[in-house]
Structure 1
């Protein structure tokens, strides 16, 4: 059976507390359980104070067979930041702009940019699959989108890991593989109706919203928008055309992270659970509601909200 753990974002102390709460013990440098394994949902890095340990703990568990893990958008970005663009010497697949550097600086400072530790971690990130489709459950960082998963297949190996030569394609804006990776790792964004916009938390005007991709029940843009509560009234109550959303087939449970939820963990749907409850925001001003969340899966197809476990 599996314990699925959401975005860690450099909070290794909370990870160790959560593993302890779940009954894992550290033996010979590896956290382990006699009967269970962890599945990490990605986003190990950036933001928090314990960047190195937040990678080394999951990595040791994966390599010892006590865990599995998928890639998050922060690992994807870290790889692209570190890889030079083969078509543009001296440039990188993720541009080294001030904005991109600021988002990644905590990690770079912790490992030492271009150090052996940095290279070692990037090499491990490259081994992370984009998703897991196990016999009884699915795991992806942000969005289970069958069409985009199909689009990624030419760029992945048999274990859903990016092929070594695929990175220029996966990071080329405006292409299908780039869009597919964006949706899988960052969620589905849909354009608002013409004439509508809102301001994000940084004061930038946005005309797209991140949407509840699994919901096909004739809901409106406002109903399905992942936006801060203070701007929700800026989102129109107009129906979303059904062809825009992929929905979810509900064949088996799917677990995601990424969405910076708050409050007490709850299911998104009978077979969909998000495990990111904003631990990455801890220490950034308002710690209220910041949780590192796990789901203790016991083999059930219909998920049980009583199986959420968390630490603050």
Structure 2
């Protein structure tokens, strides 16, 4: 297996940008996918929803995986799609992800663009995806590398089967360990704000929780300083009890690449050994790749991208 990887961020159905990026990275057409002589792509998930060419993205990525030219981890949109399309056994109108207006709107582009057969086939493939990868000294996960949470998910997959109804029943049960693990690993750890505080997020939703910089330690921080985003978060000290599960990501740990966070501007590492490759291609931003060649300390010079920014 190659030890030179191109880690590509959330694509969200933007096939044109994906093709441009792969060609810029000197991959060549190979069947329905692309191939490089001595490199491999690691996709961080969120292939679907939002964009105009979801079927094309799935075909390219899946062809590359099948040919041994890429690997892909599950994103929260793939997980949500599995849950949205899996009925609770014994029911006809109850699903593991509620068919609410909010959830349907998030998934609508995929519903509109994929035929019933294509959607069924895609969901079956999504069930086979790992939630995290560690290869030759580099790690890839959609939102947060947390050893105990990844271990909980993998043990549950072994117990219940790959994203089966039994797995989903436990993963969507509030307060279960598996539910907490899926939320942290695929959607990013969040902290509940002090009583009486709320924010309005980038999508216009009122929230009483905030996504946080899981790779840093929360001790001595404020909610605003530890928040991963630009919302109007209160500048109050974090309650240590609320953040006890968050221990940061050790500087001695292997470099980890994530997606998920809708960043903007010029790509730079988040820490010496942590980088995000999601720079909002679905919101007129960039589709970003990080070219990893064995380095322990990640570098801003290793990012490549296409897009409108």
Secondary structure at the counterpart of residue 297 of structure 2: coil
Give deviations 1:178-203, integer Å, cap 9, x for gaps.
Answer: 12111110000001223332222344
Residue number in structure 2 paired with 1:6: 9
Check if 1:50 corresponds to 2:53. yes
Residue number in structure 1 paired with 2:262: 260
1:32–1:86 Cα change, 3 Å: same
Cα drift, residue 148 of structure 1: 1.5
- Residues 10 and 45 of structure 1 are in contact (CA less than 8 Å); yes or no, is this contact kept in structure 2? yes
1:198–1:8 Cα change, 3 Å: same
- Residues 32 and 59 of structure 2 are in contact (CA less than 8 Å); yes or no, is this contact kept in structure 1? no
Residue number in structure 1 paired with 2:283: 281
Give deviations 1:240-263, integer Å, cap 9, x for gaps.
Answer: 526242311231001100000000
- Residues 212 and 225 of structure 1 are in contact (CA less than 8 Å); yes or no, is this contact kept in structure 2? yes
- Residues 268 and 299 of structure 2 are in contact (CA less than 8 Å); yes or no, is this contact kept in structure 1? no
Residue number in structure 1 paired with 2:147: 146
CA distance in 2, matches of 1:162, 1:84: 12
CA distance in 2, matches of 1:132, 1:162: 17
- Residues 140 and 254 of structure 1 are in contact (CA less than 8 Å); yes or no, is this contact kept in structure 2? yes
Cα drift, residue 204 of structure 1: 3.6
Residue number in structure 1 paired with 2:302: 307
Cα drift, residue 239 of structure 1: 4.2
Residue number in structure 2 paired with 1:104: 107
- Residues 131 and 150 of structure 2 are in contact (CA less than 8 Å); yes or no, is this contact kept in structure 1? no
1:80–1:164 Cα change, 3 Å: closer
Number of paired residues?
299
Cα drift, residue 218 of structure 1: 3.0
Check if 1:72 corresponds to 2:67. no
Structure 1: gaps spanning 5 or more residues: 283-289
Residue number in structure 2 paired with 1:292: 287
Pairing 1:220-231 to 2, within 5 Å after superposition: 220-228=222-230, 231=231
- Residues 86 and 165 of structure 2 are in contact (CA less than 8 Å); yes or no, is this contact kept in structure 1? no
- Residues 225 and 235 of structure 2 are in contact (CA less than 8 Å); yes or no, is this contact kept in structure 1? no
Structural RMSD (CA): 1.9
Secondary structure at the counterpart of residue 244 of structure 2: helix
- Residues 77 and 94 of structure 1 are in contact (CA less than 8 Å); yes or no, is this contact kept in structure 2? yes
Cα drift, residue 154 of structure 1: 2.4
1:186–1:177 Cα change, 3 Å: same
- Residues 198 and 209 of structure 2 are in contact (CA less than 8 Å); yes or no, is this contact kept in structure 1? yes
Check if 1:178 corresponds to 2:179. yes
Residue number in structure 2 paired with 1:61: 64
- What's the TM-score once normalised by structure 2's chain length? 0.91
